[in-house]
Structure 1
Amino acid sequence: MSGADSLPDDLEGVRESLIEWYRRDHRDFPWRRTDDPYAILVSEVMSQQTQLERVEEAWAAFLERWPDAEALAAADRSAVVGFWTDHSLGYNNRAKYLHEAARQVGEEFGGEFPEEPDDLRELQGVGPYTANAVASFAFDNGDAVVDTNVKRVLYRAFDVPDDDSAFEETAGELMPAGESRVWNNAIMELGGVACRKTPRCDEAGCPWREWCRAYETGDFTAPDVPTQPTFEGSRRQKRGRAIRVLKEYDELPLDELGPRVRVDYGGETGEEWLRGLVSDLADDGLVEIEGDRVRLRR
């Protein structure tokens, strides 16, 4: 049985109830009030590893500093990476990719964002999900979004098998034609507010309760979700700590920086390890290395 085979017969009722629920009351994130593809791309990249509530402040500050793709492309890459680090927005590569994507918009697309998902994927660091999200929310021109929240909703509500192709088929069948902006926002909101890991069906007024298999049976298991790498003790954490130490001291020799970055400095996590770490930071334009001394780049 394919995923779409498990959908209720009353598809129009399912669609209308969700859209009405979303329009009546939803979280009012600022990127939901714009159709600017640049602003939406920034929000999507920031949201990949950060809770939406925490993204709001960083998103507003980023757009104030670099209000459009042209401004971002003209920025020093180290400033963009530094902003990313300062706001704890996850892997710095995402900042570098966003900076490169802004350059591509200007040089390869004549300053205009592409509107089709396939064309958006030409931008550095933009994968299928992000391309589809930007196409949906900026141009109302996307396919059905399938993220972790959407998978959980479909798995519970309609007993869709835990299989990517089944999720994609079902999501595509459910989405009303030509309404990707409101639909994708609505179904992700359903997963983020009502059909969470611990469900809040009645509290959130889930509009799909009358059709939902999980609500009927009380079985709220969810599909397997890949585990995220642990931040505590990670290389990313140590990079951030090195930057914070150098902000305090401005410049330090390696043998003084090392113990301040990690308490177990020495041996396999000694100077060779530290040189690799600060070399990565230098490649990102965040620090400068001169002999055995490291300074924060100004």
Structure 2
Amino acid sequence: MTDDATTEDAPFPGGQSLPDDVEEVRTALIEWYGDDHRSFPWRETTDPYEILVSEIMSQQTQLSRVETAWDSFLERWPTTAALADADRSDVVSFWSDHSLGYNNRARYLHESARQIEDEYGGEFPTDPDELQELQGVGPYTGNAVASFAFNTGNAVVDTNVKRVLYRAFDVEDDDTQFEAAAAALMPSGESRVWNNAIMELGGVACEKTPSCDGAGCPWREWCHAYGTGDFTAPDVPTQPSFEGSRRQFRGRVIRVLGEHDELELDELGPRIRVDYVPEGEYGREWLCGLLDDLADDELVEIDEGGATPVVSLQS
């Protein structure tokens, strides 16, 4: 980003412009965040490993659940070296036991720890683009780790930030424009505090149902939505129903195998669904399809050397 005078005059791609008093906009948000914000333990650390764990866990998972799991995970595997040395099956079982969402994330986190140890000598890269070389780390997560651990990130753009920019500054619902607007607003060299602050604004004041006055939103005097009363926001994709989903049964497989060293196919099936019948609609063919997917994701192993396939978590 260039100097502030240049930034103030720069329009967003769609023609919308930053407020003339952009420095006041920035100061208002940072002071609001500094005065009062939600306390999470990962906001009290600059350890990139601890922050990476929190970011992976927080993907589509309630933060109250993440907080408990985060503490337990780091107590068990306090460093990348400890995690890299762990059996993958133990990490996946932990993930499933704590209902942290897709078990692939546990595999990716385990693999990224091995990368840090083997390819980076135990030291995290500080550049957001280089962080994306880690398994399972995309643009958002790489940028978040760079911001919160090293203060070297770019402007974060997640669902909350998009909602804030759309409402406050009438930014068009377009990823390119959201990214340009977020970058233009963020003060240079302040990614740690800025990204925390604008995400907090979207999380407690500019939620789907906003609480502008109740949360003391610091941007009310500039906010297009507050001025017009139009609090529409970009569409947020709905998460498919979990109950009865393939994702739910994949999770059950991981949990059951975490309790047993190995199980034959017809021992595993009834533990996954009560209506399992070997030759039925939800029988061996259905279960084998589920297990093949998990094997492709390197989460389970299937030993077909005997009369009946035997399944275990991949170590």
Same fold (TM over 0.5): yes
Q: Match of 2:165, as an amino acid?
A: L
**Distance in 2 of aligned mates of 1:197 and 1:215:** 14
Deviation at 1:277, TM superposition (A): 2.7
**Distance in 2 of aligned mates of 1:49 and 1:109:** 29
Residues 3-57 of structure 1: per-residue CA shift (max 9 Å, x gap): 5733211101100000000000000000000000000000000001201121000
Contact 1:4 / 1:170 at 8 angstroms: preserved in 2? no
Mapping of residues 135-154 of structure 1, within 5 Å: 135-154=146-165
Q: Match of 1:276, as an amino acid?
A: G
Deviation at 1:287, TM superposition (A): 8.4
CA 1:177/1:49 → structure 2, altered by over 3 Å: closer, same or farther?
Answer: same
Confirm whether residue 284 of structure 1 aligns to residue 299 of structure 2: yes
Confirm whether residue 197 of structure 1 aligns to residue 212 of structure 2: no
Say which is worse superposed, 65-74 or 247-256, in terms of deviation.
Answer: 247-256
Taking only the aligned residue pairs, the percentage that are identical comes to: 73
Deviation at 1:230, TM superposition (A): 2.4
**Distance in 1 of aligned mates of 2:308 and 2:242:** 28
Confirm whether residue 56 of structure 1 aligns to residue 67 of structure 2: yes
CA 1:39/1:251 → structure 2, altered by over 3 Å: closer, same or farther?
Answer: closer
CA 1:180/1:294 → structure 2, altered by over 3 Å: closer, same or farther?
Answer: same
- Name the residue aligned to 1:21: 32
- Name the residue aligned to 2:226: 215
CA 1:21/1:286 → structure 2, altered by over 3 Å: closer, same or farther?
Answer: farther
Contact 1:78 / 1:286 at 8 angstroms: preserved in 2? no
- Name the residue aligned to 1:272: 285
Structure 2 segments unaligned to the other structure (5+ residues): 1-11
Deviation at 1:111, TM superposition (A): 1.1
Confirm whether residue 97 of structure 1 aligns to residue 97 of structure 2: no
Contact 1:136 / 1:143 at 8 angstroms: preserved in 2? yes
Contact 2:253 / 2:272 at 8 angstroms: preserved in 1? yes
TM-score normalised according to structure 2 size: 0.87
Deviation at 1:284, TM superposition (A): 1.7
Mapping of residues 160-199 of structure 1, within 5 Å: 160-199=171-210
TM-score normalised according to structure 1 size: 0.91
**Distance in 2 of aligned mates of 1:243 and 1:60:** 22
Q: Match of 2:39, as an amino acid?
A: D
Residues 234-281 of structure 1: per-residue CA shift (max 9 Å, x gap): 122112334555677887654454344235545443211112334555
The 3-state SS of whatever aligns with 2:204 is helix
**Distance in 1 of aligned mates of 2:147 and 2:254:** 37
The 3-state SS of whatever aligns with 1:124 is coil
92, 107, 113: which one pairs with 1:81? 92
Contact 1:22 / 1:189 at 8 angstroms: preserved in 2? yes
CA 1:80/1:253 → structure 2, altered by over 3 Å: closer, same or farther?
Answer: closer
**Distance in 2 of aligned mates of 1:9 and 1:211:** 10
**Distance in 1 of aligned mates of 2:232 and 2:307:** 56
Residues 212-231 of structure 1: per-residue CA shift (max 9 Å, x gap): 11111111101122222321
Say which is worse superposed, 236-245 or 5-14, in terms of deviation.
Answer: 236-245
Contact 2:91 / 2:107 at 8 angstroms: preserved in 1? yes
Contact 1:157 / 1:213 at 8 angstroms: preserved in 2? yes
Deviation at 1:286, TM superposition (A): 8.0
Contact 1:149 / 1:191 at 8 angstroms: preserved in 2? yes
Q: Match of 2:283, as an amino acid?
A: G
Contact 1:81 / 1:286 at 8 angstroms: preserved in 2? no
Residues 176-199 of structure 1: per-residue CA shift (max 9 Å, x gap): 000000000000000000000010
Structure 1 segments unaligned to the other structure (5+ residues): none
Deviation at 1:148, TM superposition (A): 0.1
Contact 2:90 / 2:258 at 8 angstroms: preserved in 1? no
**Distance in 2 of aligned mates of 1:183 and 1:286:** 45
- Name the residue aligned to 1:125: 136
